[in-house]
Structure 1
């Protein structure tokens, strides 16, 4: 299973685990893959705490995932610090959208946050707010990989990361986006089919992976979207992928910082229970369908705003869902891919890595028998 990108990163297996939980990231890195911590929900100060913890608990290396959209409301506003940009963008959010979001939460009995738990509205959804996060990453030598979740990173960010000796890549959901990444000089591409959790395009993994692999030539492609077992990893590598980028499978592991009620929602869900919706972030993202996503689809209700304005509306709901998961079970933010239908038990992260490897080996042995080897 070892590929060239393993050698470049010094990891044993090309299994990349995107997660918002540092415990999961550490467990996967220590099991021979590489954990990739999603940074979008952290301030720079919080990210410093998370990466310092990972430095202490990861034996090898880990990665960090940022969100710098190629297009977003407010792009091009220069000269503002993150607080000033948040205030400027907040002026663009109609009060009617905030009132509607509050009504959904109130109708479902989700309590408001205590006054002392004030939170930022914007977080890391713009180049301005991501800049302090990058400064933090560069202070941590074990953070050897950076990925951008939405679009090609700005040229100055690419240079900054590569000049530090780190690899930088980005996710894509089309051949066009993959070629943009290659032309920008990125070190790898994460090719995610529509089955994946979070922001996706409309083309399925089985169709998209080989198209992107052929289009970008020798640029390493990490296959993403719907990977939950080693058979799927074997299929991706057989198509020419350099590794597997996984995400949803880590939502139902023991180490995941997922409240029991929310985890049970994932375990109970089928692959038919997901939907691509703009209701939380403003861009199409796959998640569990629930009362929140349905409410924003009704023609008589407000339509989701562009990124990052919709998240500025919805973030209070995200925070309240984390604090009161039982009350928010029908309106919680549950980003997950169609592979959720395969996630029917809780496993340890290291055991998931071992299972993926064993299933991969079994798949290769099956093919060898078919080929008379």
Structure 2
């Protein structure tokens, strides 16, 4: 299968697999697509190790990295940054989370944890140069920015290294800003997608972005987990697809098993866009956590980054307890997932999922081509 995306990246199939698990990234690339590592929570040392691990399994096949790089950076002391942000969290919100965990009998950690080091990796802009040094020290084929238009420092380094720059857009007006910033590939993410997403459906958004892309490749994202859905995206003018949620049904994905079991039991109507995890609307699996935040006495979600600072330890405790089979934690347990969760029937290898999507897409495109008559044939005469 050949499109503008396969030509640009040198891949066999126009499918990008986005996931936080290095195992998924490696298997998608090995199966002919482009695996992209969600690297927003890694320190420079951790990221270097993960990229090295991926490369050792690819035999030179291309892969990519997705970072969270703010448009403007300034030096900051992590301790001062954390203290400043935590001082802005109202006591009532802290009390609400504590009481919620008590109602569900969520155990406290046996040993004290560091104070939100993962969040600081995203919030402290002083760490950005080190992350970029790691990324461009590796032979990546694509770098994507998860936070608006990429800054000139990222784009310039990518251009010098011959690395493709991609960025997600959720509205047509976002496309112009991304193109002005020097983005090579636009990812049109519809509301069906998991994680942070807008309100426009993929089938509406994709052709709008294609029209504004000025010939640059556009990938459709959101609601794509099958070959038929991939074929539909290509029919809309996309040069490929960006898939995220589907890998949560893979063996290689690192999402805890209790969450995966909930995914397998869910329908496509069991997700919602909620601000209660990050402070911004993010699609995730509905659980008792969301019911509590929507119930009487809820103080409402705080804006990003205060909400994730407020809830990070709570989610760690919930994950740990659910992993051990705790009933209350299992009721609260959730994760980011798109509406395609309703199609999950079993956990499978990521490579098998990749090949099935591509093969079924090819078959579907051939079926559709058969619907078009041969224009060289004359129409049969009607008998009166």
Q: TM-score, normalised by structure 1?
A: 0.92
Match of 1:227 among 224, 228, 232: 224
Alignment CA distance shift 1:176-1:69 (3 Å): farther
Query: Does the 8 Å CA contact 2:169/2:175 hold for their aligned counterparts?
Result: yes
Equivalent residue, structure 2, for 1:261: 258
**Alpha-carbon deviation of 1:160?**
2.5
1:102 to 98, 105, 108: 98
Structure 1, unpaired ranges of 5+: 71-75
Who is 2:379 aligned against?
none
- Give 1:121 deviation, angstroms: 5.6
Match of 1:372 in 2: 373
How far apart are residue 86 of structure 1 and its match? 2.7
Equivalent residues in 2 for 1:257-336 (5 A)? 257-298=254-295, 300-325=297-322, 326-327=325-326, 328-336=329-337
State the 1:342 CA deviation.
0.7
- 109 and 347 in structure 1: CA distance in 2 versus 1, 3 angstrom threshold: same
Give the total of aligned pairs. Answer: 367
Please give the alpha-carbon distance, in whole angstroms, between the structure 1 residues aligned to 2:161 and 2:82.
Answer: 29
Q: Is the 8 A contact 1:17 1:35 kept in 2?
A: yes
Q: Which residue of 1 aligns with 2:358?
A: 357
CA drift at 1:83: 4.1
Distance 1:135 1:86, change over 3 A: farther
- Equivalents in 2 of 1:114, 1:163: separation in Å? 48
2:132 counterpart residue number: 134
Deviation for aligned residue 1:116 = 5.0
**Structure-2 separation of matches of 1:274 and 1:245:** 20
Seen in structure 2, the aligned counterparts of structure 1 residues 36 and 174 have a Cα distance that, compared at 3 Å, is: same
Provide the secondary structure at the position in 1 that maps to 2:119.
Answer: coil
Alpha carbons of structure 1 residues 235 and 63: separation in structure 2 relative to 1, 3 Å: same
Q: Which moved more, 1:285-294 or 1:101-110?
A: 101-110
Pick closer, same or farther for the CA change 1:293–1:18 going to 2, 3 Å: same
Name the SS of the counterpart of 2:133 in structure 1.
Answer: helix
- Indicate the SS of the match to 1:275: strand
Shift in Å, 1:24: 0.8
What is the TM-score when the length of structure 2 is the normalising length? 0.90
Unaligned ranges ≥5, structure 2 = 375-384
Bigger drift between 92-101 and 52-61 goes to: 92-101
Inter-CA distance 48–109: structure 2 relative to 1 (3 Å threshold): farther
Q: Deviations over 1:155-197 (max 9, x none)?
A: 2222223222211211111001122111211111111100000
The corresponding residue for 1:43 is 43
Deviation at 1:250, TM superposition (A): 0.1
Compared CA separation, residues 3 and 128, structure 1 to 2 (3 A): farther
Structure 2 vs 1, CA of residues 130 and 336 (structure 1 numbering), >3 Å: closer, same or farther? farther
2:269 alignment partner, SS class: helix
The structure with the largest alpha-carbon Rg is 2
1:58 equivalenced with 2:61 (yes/no): no
Q: 2:10 matched to 1:3? A: no
* Distance apart, 1:228 and its partner CA: 0.8
Residue 73 of structure 1 is matched in structure 2 by none
Paired position in structure 1 for 2:85: 89
Distance in 1 of aligned mates of 2:297 and 2:75: 39
* Deviation, structure 1 residue 58: 2.1
Q: Is the 8 A contact 1:121 1:311 kept in 2?
A: no
Question: Which residue of the partner structure matches residue 186 of structure 1?
Answer: 183
The residue that corresponds to 2:159 in the other structure is 162
Structure 1 residues 172, 268: CA separation in 2 closer, same or farther (over 3 Å shift)?
Answer: same
Contact 1:5–1:14 at 8 Å: present in 2 too? yes
Give 2:146's match in structure 1, choosing from 140, 144, 149: 149
1:129, distance to aligned residue in structure 2 (A): 4.4
Over the aligned positions, Cα root-mean-square deviation in angstroms equals 2.0
How far apart, CA to CA, are the structure 2 residues paired with 1:16 and 1:292?
31
Q: Distance in 2 between matches of 1:178 and 1:104?
A: 41
Partners of 1:116 and 1:289 lie apart in 2 by 29
CA displacement at 1:50 relative to structure 2: 1.2
Question: Is the contact made by 1:40 and 1:123 (CA closer than 8 Å) also made in structure 2?
Answer: no
Contact 1:121 1:315 in 2 (8 A): no
Q: 1:68 to 1:93 in 2, by over 3 A?
A: farther
1:153, CA displacement in angstroms?
Answer: 1.8
